[in-house]
Amino acid sequence: MLSAQVGSLHDRLLCSREETDDMNTKNAHERIDPELAEALKAVPMTEAGVFDVSDLAGTRAGVRAFAEAIAAGTPDEPSVSVEEVDVVRPDGSTLPVRLLRPTEAAGPLPVLLWFHGGGQVLGYAAQDDPALKPLVLEVGCVVASVDYRLAPEAPAPAAAEDGLLAYRWLRGQAAALGIDEGRVALAGQSGGGGIAAATALMIRDQGEPAPLFQALSYPMLDDRNTTASSHEVTDIGIWDRATNILAWNLVLGDRAGADEVPPYCAPARATDLTGLPPTFVAAAELDVFRDEDLSYAARLQAGGVPVELHLYPGAYHAFDLFAPGAAVSAAYVHAWYGYLRRRFSARQP
């Protein structure tokens, strides 16, 4: 059944951009889920939307201030411990990895290697603490949140290289960390979802032991911006076409959209998706990334990878973060947590 569903979605992506634009562009706002539309009214917008990546320094500062305000207003969770460790890169610099652990769970525990969102140009690991602590308790796992390098200071594939380093470190230190080296998985949202996917490709190609699975939430996968949804979503304000193009130009420089972009920089460029771990993909209907996410899921499934795919109608990018109380957000969290629990209940052979 999944094969037929994914295949059908893949076929739908082949309709012409003109037909899709004609059907969708004029009524994109009308198609937003009512709860999400109400939440959107309260989101502060610049002329460039929520994230003005043309003012990178200012937007980074704004993201940090907003995340710190949320953290300050969130009751502490004493059942989750937080520790930050520095992993040494080959050049001697350090990669911070933030470890969130359930204090009362007996080990060795499964671990989710987590990559925060931000279009690969914004954000930092600690911003997700308020959202990850409930996950730690509900799923019963350790979360290792990677403070990977951002573009343009560190262009792709620097972030995926950080992901590979963190993955190797977790497995190598499993006994000391109280984790199960056979139950290490990758996950991320938005730009972080793209980095998780790129890290999975690096792990496979380097011949490392495979992750247990990868969980990709509305991931940023394709620098080319040629899909129907990349033309359709232009004025919702969360992460529209213009913002995405600017972000990819920061991530790749003048390589963005060129013929020879490595898959470690943009995973949709990978021609071979065989041998990757079981994959969860969550996509939003009114998201620039919708079609590249659906296509990636279809291609994974065609390559023999077990795929669980969810498409959320009426949802814009990062809907669960902007409207956590909405029913569609609750449905997403239920599906995501359920997938994590089921997959973590199995161990690598």
Q: Is 243 helix (H, G, I), strand (E, B) or coil?
A: helix
Helix, strand and coil percent figures for the chain, each rounded to 5:
45, 20, 35
Q: How far apart are CA 35 and CA 54, in angstroms?
A: 30
Which of these is catalytic: 287, 291, 293, 320?
287
Long-range (24+ apart) CB contacts under 8 A made by 9-14 are 9/294, 9/297, 9/298, 9/309, 9/311, 10/294, 10/295, 10/298, 10/299, 10/302, 12/294, 13/227, 13/228, 13/291, 13/294, 13/295, 13/298
Query: In sequence order, what are the residues at sequence separation of 6 or more whose Cβ sits closer than 8 angstroms to the Cβ of residue 19?
Result: none
Count Cα atoms within 13 angstroms, Cβ side, for 123: 23
Active site residue 317: yes
Active site residue 116: no
Strand order across the beta sheet in which 214-217 lies: 80-88, 94-102, 142-146, 109-115, 179-189, 214-217, 279-286, 307-316
Active site residue 334: no
Instruction: Report DSSP state, residue 89.
Output: P
Q: How far apart are CA 149 and CA 152, in angstroms?
A: 9
Which of these is catalytic: 129, 217, 317, 329?
317
Which of these is catalytic: 145, 190, 229, 295?
190
Distances (CA, A) of 261 to 152, 157, 264: 16, 10, 8
Catalytic positions are 190, 287, 317
